[in-house]
Structures are given as C-alpha cells and as structure tokens.
Structure 1
Amino acid sequence: MRLPSNAFSSNLYSLNSLLQHNTHPSALARPQQFYLFRSHHLRPPSSHTRPSSCLPYQPNFPSAIPARTLSLFNRPTSPFSMSSDAKSFYELKAQLPGGKTFDFDQLRGKVVLIVNVASKCGFTPQYKGLQALYDKYKDRGFIILGFPCNQADTDAARGTHAQFGGQEPESDEKIAQFCELNHGVTFPLMAKSDVNGDNTNEVYRWLKSQKAGLLGLTRIKWNFEKFLIDREGKVVHRWASTTSPEAIDAEVAKLL
C-alpha cells in the first residue's frame, strides 16, 4: 500500500506513539499492533479490515511529549493527591483478610517493600520473583506486603469500570489460596482494597504523598507498582510495574 502524500503532516498521529510516550504498563503487558491514522479518526482497525489510509508504522519519537498525549492520563488529581492523616509510616494501619488490623508500628527497623498485586495480570508471574526476594532477605529484616486491588473506578467521561482491567476479582480467601498454590507466596497479603480514588486505603494515600511516579503523577498506573521503605520509615524508591523484582535486588540489599 502506498503511503498517503500527507502522511507526515501535523494532523497524523500513531496510537503506538501515544502509548509509548506514556509507557503505560498495561500496553506492555498486552502485545498490540497499531496503525497510522488521521487524528480525527484515531481508532484501531477491526481484525478484518485495515483502513485504506493507514499502514503499519514505527514512529520516530519526538524529544518532548505533546500536551495532548499527557492529557490521556492526567485526569483530575484531587482524589489522588489526598494525603493520609498519619504523620509517619509507623502510624499507618491496614486491613487483613477476616477483618483484623495490621499495625505498621511492628515494622519499625525493617526494610519494607509494598506492592499492589493481582492474580490475573500479565505481571502476575512477578509473584515468584517477589517470593524469592522475600526468602533471600527476610532473616535480615526485610518484609513484603501485598495489597490486592480490583476497585471500581468512576468518572463522568468513562463511567464505572474495574480498575487495572478487573484482574483481582476473587475473594481474599481465594486470592491467598491462589498465591500460595501457584507461586508459593508466604509474605503477608492484605485485604482487597482501593489504591486510587476517593476510597484509597490509608497506606496508599500516605505512600503516594511521599513519592510521586512517572511525570510527577501520584496515581497508581497498574498492578505491581512497588514502593521501597527504609529502616527509618522513609519511602526511598517507587518503581513501575515493568520493573521486575530481580531488578531491585541490589537496592533492597543496600538498605539491609
């Protein structure tokens, strides 16, 4: 197919380029192919037809990210910028399965890795790497806390839907069984809760107030983001879902 004469005009964009600029983990977890479109028809073709005015395209990324690209993920931030009432990491509390409370005061002097997890995600195999990291360093004062999340996410433009692809739909009991049987998980898992929005749990309100993510946004973008807290209760690292447990081993070891 011949490339249209205006293929490189300013009103043409690539969906692939848009996603890559935002490096959204969900896109990396789901291999996709996109085509070049006129901006006013910016949608992927059906599986049976290919628009006559498009062809597979590998973009040359600009040095700056266009404002319209950033707006895709720059939703109203007021629900996500709320800080926790807790003044320190050790004042936080989390809900355990069965209604019991996990008091963070018991974490004093430990290095802590906190991860929002899901059982049906492209990053779920990271459970094995997390467990290996826990086994390696748990006797030196290291602990991992998993926070399952499958919350409903509502706004006027998009309506209500399961956040992060609805990839943690089961009960707390079934989540624990899945993790133990399939990945040998022995580190603590909290009760399922929200990590974004008005009902964000206390722990994630505090974590996000302490360490922003990509482009300064506080919102958790996908399952298996990681926060590393040192022995003094300070958040020293925040990693995206695409950062594997193996890749952070050295940073954990430095704090022990």
Structure 2
Amino acid sequence: MALLPGKIVCITGSSRGIGRACAVECAKQGAKGLILHYLGDAATEQEVQSLREDIEANYAPTKAVVVAGDIGDPTTSSKIVEAGVAAFERIDVLVSNAGICPFAEFLTMPLAVWEKTRQVNLDGSFYATQAVAKQMEKQTPQGGSIIGISSISALVGGGQQCHYTPTKAGILSLMQSCAVALGKYNIRANAILPGTIATDINKEDLSDEVKREGMIKRTCLGRLGTPEDIAGPVVFLASDLARYVTGASLLVDGGLFVNLQ
C-alpha cells in the first residue's frame, strides 16, 4: 500500500543525488504532486527535466512542476511555494535537501567559501522552511511535514569541513526549534542525518580508493550509502506512519557513528 497517497511534496535540490532519489520514491509511494527545485544551470536543467519526464511517464498520475533558482536567495523559496500552490493548491511535505560541500582547508579557506556554503545549506534551509511553513499554517488543521536533510557531520568534525559541519548542525537545530514553534499548526519538523552517501557532492573525495575503503570498513554494514537509502526514511517521516514524530533526528549511516572501534 502506498505511504503518500495524494500528498504534495516539495523537494529542494532535486535534480540529482538524495533529492532525486526522494522524488522518485515519493512518486512510487503515491504522491499526487511534486514540486522539484533545482539550481537552474544547464546541467541541473537537463537533469530535472529528465526526472520530471521519468516520473510522469512511469508513476502516473503523479504530476511534477519544476522551479529553478539559487536556494540561498530568499526569493527562490517564495517562487517555489507560489508554483506549488498554483499547480496543486497546497503543500503537504517539504524535503529541504539542497546543499553543497566544497572541501577546504580551514586555515587557507577563502571567506567566500564559508559564506556560500552557509548561504546554500543553512540560509537556504531556513528560507525554504519558513516559506513552506507559512503555506502549511494556512492549511491548518491539515498541517504538514518538514524534513531537513542534515548530516552525521552535525555530530562529528571533519578537517576539511569546518565550514560545512556548522551548517548541518544548524539544520538539525532548526528542525528541533521548528518542531516547537510549529506544532500548534499540526506541522511536524524532523531531521535526517545521512552518513557517507555516494553522491556527486563527495565524488572527488571518494575517488581516493584508500579513503573510500577506509570509510566502507568503518560502517557496520560494510558499504557506503546510496541516495535510495535516504529516500526510504524521508518517505516514513513524510507519511502518516510518523504522525506523532516531531523534533526527532534520524541517523541513517549504516552504523558509521557507533563503530568507534
């Protein structure tokens, strides 16, 4: 039985990786409509249009609208909500997923790298969450589900992630506080903390075979994660099965965090 029958789901950063896998799984689980955000350059334009065509061809009657824009610009989130409401009249679920991780040494990191990472990861998540929550508040008592894609990096450090880990910790904290602020509108807010997931964001880093094998050995399950491994937990938190789950953080890392020895 489908877990998201009739739901309208908005996903930021949907053209590839975790966002794309979430879009496909939501369609499989009966979502009525998808609002697919992407950056808007030539590469993501082609990718998201391919995704939209695939979903509408293979998962009918699911329909999808696409919205381009820099998520670090607050006007993009307004455009996302406007497009979603125009197409589907409401938004039931937000998956705040858009993010970047340009690995950099702390002492030589240009301030522009810090600023851009914060703008996309943390500011963008705040803008999207606030814009969608305003729409969901209008839908009370129906409410909605907001899912912030944080990271295991919210809990541990990384030598080349001094700009990235604070943004992911911020997303975790944002979801916790939004759970408190939005509960009265029947809006749930939760965070998912992926471990090492093989996507474009870390493709170059994982091209080092020694490092890749080391990361694999650190997991309890003996493999890196895939975007599809995150899509399932996202669907759960979006669904009515999780109707009493809010303010939670779900670590999806194959046992990486607990495997100290």
TM-score when scaled to structure 2? 0.26
Identify, as 1 or 2, the structure richer in helix. 2
Radius of gyration: which is bigger? 1
